[in-house]
Copies of this chain bind each other. A is one copy, B any other.
Amino acid sequence: MFSDYAIRVLMHAAQNPERLVTIEQTAAVQGISRAHVKKVVLMLSRAGYLRGVRGRTGGFTLARPPQEIDLGELVRQTEPDFGLVECLRTGNRCVLTPCCGLPPILKRAVRAFIEALEGHSLADIMLPGSPLSLPPEGSAFQPSRSPEASG
């Protein structure tokens, strides 16, 4: 889920390269909670994907061009151990841990997953027709969800 939201936040920023976007705007447009967006933005800023500007008119923007944001690297940084099974997460209480040979096999599989994402950039997955472009800075913010058009 973390990578899922990370990609959405980055796409939102990438679709609005000329302006700073805010946590509130991202949460509203994407329909995800402000708390989740905040957590993701903080982490992406620390990892060098976003650059933040503080203050009332602040917000965040991509820290590097979308062509230079590799999806494999992004997933590796945002989900270090993937936590697919309990024994790969902190607080593991699986009783099988001492007698289970799954972890090394699973780690290899996660590596294969990430390698398949490598070489694909944020720019590669941004197709035309985005509903994420915001109105010019300064105008009242309106979430730009497309209406439920009947065809």
Contacts and interface: CB of A to CB of B under 8 A. Distances in A.
Interface string A107-125: 0111111111100100011
B99 A109 contact: no
Interface residues of A, number: 44
A86 B36 CA distance: 15
Contact of A124 (B3, B86, B101, B124): B101
A125 B113 contact: no
A111 B128 CA distance: 27
| Secondary structure call for the A interface | helix
Q: How many copies does the complex hold?
A: 2
B131 A95 contact: yes
Interface stretch (A4-12, A16-24, A40-48, A52-60): A4-12
A14 to B, nearest CB: 11
Nearest to A88: B4
Given A101-B125, A105-B125, A116-B112, A145 B95 contact: yes
Nearest to A103: B125
